Amino acid sequence: MNRCKLLVIAFLAFITNGFSLLGIGQGSVGGVARAIEANHNITRNIETAKAMGMLAGNPPLKPDSGFFGPFHVDCSVIGMCEVLA
């Protein structure tokens, strides 16, 4: 490996880890990755909590069907009270 390639690799390694080597951990690549992961976990936990909160205390929805239930007919409207009595 010639000297130029070694210097390029050393420079890239210093750039990627330079902040952590200088003691500024918030700017390092690992620090940024941890912050992104933490934000993702917080967001997922908030969404899960909201979804569980919407389910708590609410009964499941009844499916809509074509049948509306028992029918009650007012016999005085159709004039059949004498026949049914």
Where are the chain's structural domains?
1-58
1-33, pLDDT tens digit by residue? 688 889 998 888 887 777 777 777 566 667 778
39-82, pLDDT tens digit by residue? 999 999 999 988 887 776 766 677 666 566 666 667 777 766 66
Q: Which pLDDT score is estimated for 43?
A: 94
Instruction: Please list, residue by residue across 13-31, b when 16 or more beta carbons sit within 10 angstroms of its beta carbon and e when fewer do.
Output: eeeeeebeeeeeeeebeee
- Report the first-to-last Cα separation within the chain, whole angstroms: 109
Question: What predicted TM-score, i.e. pTM, was given to this entire model?
Answer: 0.39
**Confidence band (pLDDT; 50, 70, 90) for 84?**
low
Q: What does the alpha-carbon distance between residue 45 and residue 80 come to, in Å, rounded to a whole number?
A: 63
